[in-house]
Amino acid sequence: MNAAREMTRARAIGAITWKLVRLPIIYALVISEPILRIGLTTIGVLGIVSAVVIELSGSAPNFPFWAALLFFGCCIFYPVLHLAFLRILAAR
């Protein structure tokens, strides 16, 4: 009986601690979401367009085209991961 009571207290303390840790993280993610979405999407689109132009123009023969596409594609995909992580944290 005493062990069950201790386990209930430990869960309550853990739940309160989790809420205290989770809330500042959620606030930081909510505040940074529009900046990340607009900034990284713009960087990603402009980077992909410029990588294609540089590759097709032939002005830079050793240009790392596939690495640039991968990097700028990840810039476009990161806001999606950011929003998914925010939804996971906010749901609990």
In a domain, 14, yes or no: no
Q: Work out the average pLDDT over 13-24.
A: 89
In a domain, 85, yes or no: yes
In a domain, 83, yes or no: yes
In a domain, 33, yes or no: yes
Task: Quote the number of domains for the chain.
Answer: 1
In a domain, 74, yes or no: yes
In a domain, 17, yes or no: no
Question: What's the start-to-end Cα distance of the chain, in Å?
Answer: 29
Give the domain range for residue 47. 24-91
State residue 92's pLDDT score.
Answer: 66
Token pair 């990840």 in the structure block, residue = 74
Name the amino acid, one letter, at 34.
Answer: P
pLDDT at 56 over 90: yes
pLDDT at 54 over 70: yes
State residue 59's pLDDT score.
Answer: 87
Q: Among 39-43, 46-50, 86-90, whose mean pLDDT is lowest? A: 86-90
